[in-house]
Amino acid sequence: MAAPRRLDLAGLRRLDPLGTMLVLAGLVAARLPFVIDKANRIVPGDPRPLFEVVPWTAACGCALALLVAGVAALAVRAPGARLAVAVLALAALAFALGAAGDALTPAGNRVVRIAPGAAFWVLAALLGVLAADALARLAPGPAARVLALLLTVLSTGIALASGHFDHVSVMREYAVNADRFTHEAWRHVALAFGSLGAAMVVALPVGLVCHRMPRLRAAVIAALNVVQTVPAIALFGILMAPLGALAAALPAAAHLGVAGIGAAPALLALFLYALLPIVANTVAGLAGVSPAAVEAARGMGMTRGQILAGVEFVLALPVILSGVRIALVQNLGLVTVAALIGAGGFGTFVFQGIGQAAIDLVLLGAIPTVALAFGCAVLLDASIEAMQRGRA
Amino acid sequence: MISIEGLSKRYGDLTVVDDVSFEVESRTIAVVVGTSGSGKSTLLRMINRLVEPSAGRVLIDGQDVAAEPPHLLRRRIGYAIQGHGLFPHRTVAQNIATVPRLLGWPEQRIGARVAELLELLQLDPGAFAGKYPHQLSGGQQQRVGVARALAGDPKVLLMDEPFGALDPIIRAKAQDELLAIQRRLGITVVLVTHDMDEAFKLGARVAVMSQGRLLQFDRPATLLTRPEDPFVARMTGISDRALKLLSLTSARDAAVADDGPGLGDAPQVAATASLREVLSELVWRGATRATVVDERGQACGSLAIADILAHGRAR
**Which regions of chain A are under pLDDT 70?**
1-13, 390-392
User: Which of B53, B52, B50 has its CA nearest to residue B20?
Assistant: B53
The two beta strands, A35-38 and A113-116, are: antiparallel
From chain A residues 314-343, the ones with a CB under 8 A of any chain B CB are 314-315
Which of A290, A298, A300, A384 has the most B C-beta neighbours within 10 Å, making it the best mutation to test the interface with B?
Answer: A300
| Residue that finishes a domain, picked among A139, A167, A198 | A139
Query: What is the signed CA dihedral for B118, B119, B121, B123, rounded to 10 degrees?
Result: 70
Answer whether B84's CB lies under 8 Å from B45's CB. no
The answer to whether residue A71 is domain-embedded is: yes
B180-227 pLDDT, tens digit per residue, is 999 999 999 999 999 998 999 999 999 999 999 999 999 998 998 888
Question: Which pLDDT score is estimated for B264?
Answer: 64
What is the predicted pLDDT for the residue at A1? 43
> Amino acid identity of B250?
S
Are A95 and A225 in a shared domain?
A: no
Which residues, at least 6 apart from A206, have a Cβ–Cβ distance to it below 8 Å?
A220, A275, A279, A282
Query: Which one of A292, A302, A390 has the shortest CB-CB distance to B102?
Result: A302
Greater pLDDT, B111 or A240: B111
Q: Does residue A145 sit within a domain?
A: no
At A11 the pLDDT is: 61
- Would you list which residues of chain B are within 8 Å, Cβ to Cβ, of chain A? 48, 50, 70-76, 79, 81-89, 98-99, 102, 132, 134, 145, 148-149, 152, 158
Is residue B66 over pLDDT 50?
yes
- Same domain, residue pair A21 and A106: yes
Can you give the pLDDT at residue B213?
94
Q: Which residue of A has its CA nearest to B82?
A: A292
Please report how the helices A214-229 and A263-287 are oriented relative to each other, as an axis angle in degrees rounded to 10.
Answer: 140
CA distance B288 to B274: 16
Quick one: A241 and A376 in the same domain? yes
Q: Is residue A157 part of a domain?
A: no
Task: Verify whether the Cβ–Cβ distance A300 to B79 is below 8 Å.
Answer: yes
What CATH number corresponds to the domain at position A303?
1.10.3720.10
Q: Do the chains contact at A299 and B134, CB–CB below 8 Å?
A: no
What pLDDT score does A7 carry?
53
Any residues with CB less than 8 A from the CB of B172 and at least 6 apart, and which?
none
Q: Is the pLDDT of residue B260 over 80?
A: no
Same domain, A306 and A359: yes
Do residues A226 and A352 share a domain? yes
* A292 occurs within a structural domain: yes
Minimal Cβ distance to A299: which of B72, B79, B86: B79
Amino acid (one-letter) located at B288: T
Same domain, A309 and A197: yes
Interstrand relation of B77-81 and B63-64 (parallel, antiparallel or unpaired) = unpaired
A301 close contact with B: CB closer than 8 A: yes
A308 and A213 together in one domain: yes
* AA letter at A368: P
Res B255 pLDDT > 80: yes
**Does residue A252 sit in the same domain as residue A299?**
yes
CA distance A207 to A202: 9
pLDDT at A2: 45
DSSP labels, A219-243? HHHHHHHHHHHS-HHHHHHHHHHHH
| Residue A361 contacts residue A41 (beta carbons within 8 Å) | yes
Size of interface A-B (CB pairs under 8 A): 70
Per the structure, the complete domain to which residue A83 belongs is given by 15-139
SS3 B29: strand
Tell me: ipTM over 0.95. no
- Give me the pLDDT at residue A188, please: 94
Residue numbers in B near A303 (CB within 8 A): 71
Average pLDDT over all residues of chain B: 91
Which of A89, A117, A139 terminates a domain? The answer is A139
Q: Partners of A113 in the beta sheet?
A: A38
A132 is a domain residue: yes
Pairing of strands B29-34, B188-193: parallel
Chain A residues within 8 A of B87 when measuring between CB atoms: 293, 296-297, 311, 315
Q: Are residues A216 and A332 in the same domain?
A: yes
Q: Does A391 touch chain B (CB under 8 A)?
A: yes
List the Cα angle A323/A328/A330 in 5-degree steps: 95
What's the total number of domains in chain A? 2
Instruction: Give domain status of residue A3, yes or no.
Output: no
- Angstrom distances, CA of residue B106 to CA of A67, A342, B97, B110: 67, 59, 11, 6
Which chain A residues touch B70 with a CB distance below 8 Å? 301
The confidence score (pLDDT) of residue B266 equals 82
Q: What is the CA radius of gyration of chain B?
A: 22
Closest to A295 (Cβ–Cβ): which among B81, B89, B98?
Answer: B81
Same domain, A227 and A352: yes
Nearest to B98 among A300, A390, A392 (CB): A300
If asked whether residues A131 and A190 sit together in one domain, one would say: no
- A150 found inside a domain: no
The answer to whether residue A163 sits within a structural domain is no
pLDDT at A13: 67
Cβ <8 Å between A292 and B84: yes
* Per-residue CA distances from A294 to A209, A237, A311, B9, B159 (Å): 17, 46, 7, 22, 16
Picking from A221, A206, A89, A295, the residue whose alpha carbon sits closest to that of residue B158 is: A295
Looking at the fold, whether A218 and A329 belong to one and the same domain comes out as: yes
pLDDT above 60 (res B54): yes
